[in-house]
Structure 1
């Protein structure tokens, strides 16, 4: 086999097995997720398949590398500093706490940490939808200091999620007001709608607004709010049951556009 070696590596966010010559040059790679062996030269087809034999599971497609889609080309040319995809849930809060952790001893917990815990729990739940064809971006910055807590893109459409930690309090929703326990109601739904509208403008696509209530004791909605869906964190999987709005190629194209920081600076 002319000393062909199989080398595992992770590139472009994917786990691959590369088939290499003794001098380190690649002749093929096996994309496990796509079940495809990509040949750089068909002359070594049999040798490559023999080398990969112990690693192949089930039927695989074999051929030259596929032509990159426009979304893939955009991703490959995106500067790392402008790529929002690596953002962690609550990225903006994490940075703020690193810069200013606050006093070591507080009479009351830092509300930023409660918000961070709520966004982390929500983001973790959304990231689990990736296998069902959904893509999630976290902490998408908007001009003026605002941000979309989570942007969900998938077969059921696009959703801008705003997360509200409730600390096991009763929540009363009466459009546009949201009240936690005995606190003064706030017109939070106006902001939730505004963030979704700004996302729609940036992406030139309909983005639905969602308010996520994390760990509420009870939720009372007097009437369905206008253009906002109210969910608890336990109901997040319901979003993945929607479909028939976007094709996989559309999901990837919108995700490619949304992950580019420049998309949001034009607002």
Structure 2
């Protein structure tokens, strides 16, 4: 028979090689992370292994596809309208701004600066996928609330609230956060509330993170907040070096629960 075709595919943070017959039917796939070859057609075992030989490193396990986990079943039954994974950073702000026409000529809409900040932080979080993190953006919460970002990875579950400094000085004195000459707001209280709501929805420990974007200076009063982490947007990438809390299987299970809109209805 003609040579089998091997196609690399990256889906949901996993790198796989799919092997198909000349007529287009799938014969197997090779999961690089687990080192497993899942055979869909046992009669093509030798041909599949021969086709994968140039791509396989180390020992592999060969057998039928594994039994789906609860996370797999949740993914398969999740309706597209309930799937939050496609949400972009600042999704809620994008909807608001699109409905208000072009920006005002003489005065910049502060929501545009916040949108740029959320997009900047979101890009930094998305870059952590290679380090085992799963990220959601603009998670809608009951009562009209929106969670800027939610990250689930080796270092645990983190919620993110963004402050757009727009090259101004930021002053943090728990629970108040002031930007430039504007009156301070109890932002750290909101960060804690976000973490509490996510902990209720996922039934897991959650830590809140305040990210200051594009600040000329960040001053944190002593003592600093103990239960909220404060980061500049340039420091988000450092989360990829943290770990020791969640295993990969736990990360995937929590992620599939978090991306279901229905999970947040009781928070």
Q: Give the alignment's TM-score, normalised by structure 1.
A: 0.89
Structure 1 counterpart of 2:211:
212
Task: Give the Å deviation of 1:57.
Answer: 4.4
> Once the 2 structures are TM-superposed, how far is the Cα of residue 84 of structure 1 from its aligned partner?
0.9
In 1, Cα distance between equivalents of 2:266 and 2:102: 37
Q: Which residue in 2 is equivalent to 1:186?
A: 185
1:121 Cα deviation from its structure 2 partner: 0.8
Q: Match of 2:90?
A: 90
- Alpha-carbon separation, structure 2, partners of 1:16 and 1:158: 26
The reply to whether residue 126 of structure 1 matches residue 128 of structure 2 is no
Match of 1:249 in 2: 249
Q: Measure, in 1, the Cα distance between the counterparts of 2:19 and 2:134.
A: 30
1:114-263, aligned counterparts within 5 Å?
A: 114-223=113-222, 224-225=224-225, 227-263=227-263
The alignment partner of 2:194 has SS state of helix
Query: CA separation in 1, counterparts of 2:179 and 2:149?
Result: 22
Q: Which residue of 1 aligns with 2:75?
A: 75
Q: Deviations over 1:20-64 (max 9, x none)?
A: 33443322223455544321132221112233445x242362332
User: Any gaps of 5 or more consecutive residues in structure 1?
Assistant: none
Q: Distance in 2 between matches of 1:247 and 1:17?
A: 24
Q: What's the secondary structure of 1:144's corresponding residue?
A: helix
Native 8 Å contact 2:16 2:32 kept in 1: yes
Per-residue deviation at 1:137? 0.9
2:136 aligns to what SS in structure 1?
Answer: strand
CA distance in 1 between partners of 2:10 and 2:124 (Å): 25
State the Cα RMSD in Å: 2.2
How far, CA to CA, are the matches of 2:59 and 2:140 in structure 1? 41
**Once the two structures are superposed, what CA deviation does each residue of 1:116-175 show, in whole Å capped at 9, x if it has no partner?**
111111111111111111111111111111111011111211111101110111111111
Matched, 1:112 2:111: yes
Runs of 5+ consecutive residues of structure 2 not aligned to the other structure: none
Give, in whole Å, the separation in 1 of the partners of 2:193 and 2:103. Answer: 36
Structure 1 pair 68/151, CA: closer, same or farther in 2 (3 Å)? same
Q: Distance in 2 between matches of 1:245 and 1:16?
A: 26
Q: Indicate how the Cα distance of structure 1 residues 251 and 167 shifts in structure 2: closer, same or farther if over 3 A, else same.
A: same
- Structure 2 Cα separation of the partners of residues 22 and 216 of structure 1: 57
- Shift of residue 7 of structure 1? 5.5
TM-score (norm 2): 0.89
Say if 1:142 and 1:264, in contact at 8 Å, map to a contact too. yes
- 1:25–1:237 CA distance, 2 compared to 1 (3 A): closer
Deviation at 1:209, TM superposition (A): 1.0
- 1:214 deviates by 0.5
Distance in structure 2 (CA, Å) of the matches to 1:22 and 1:191: 57
The DSSP-based 3-state class of the residue aligned with 2:142 is coil
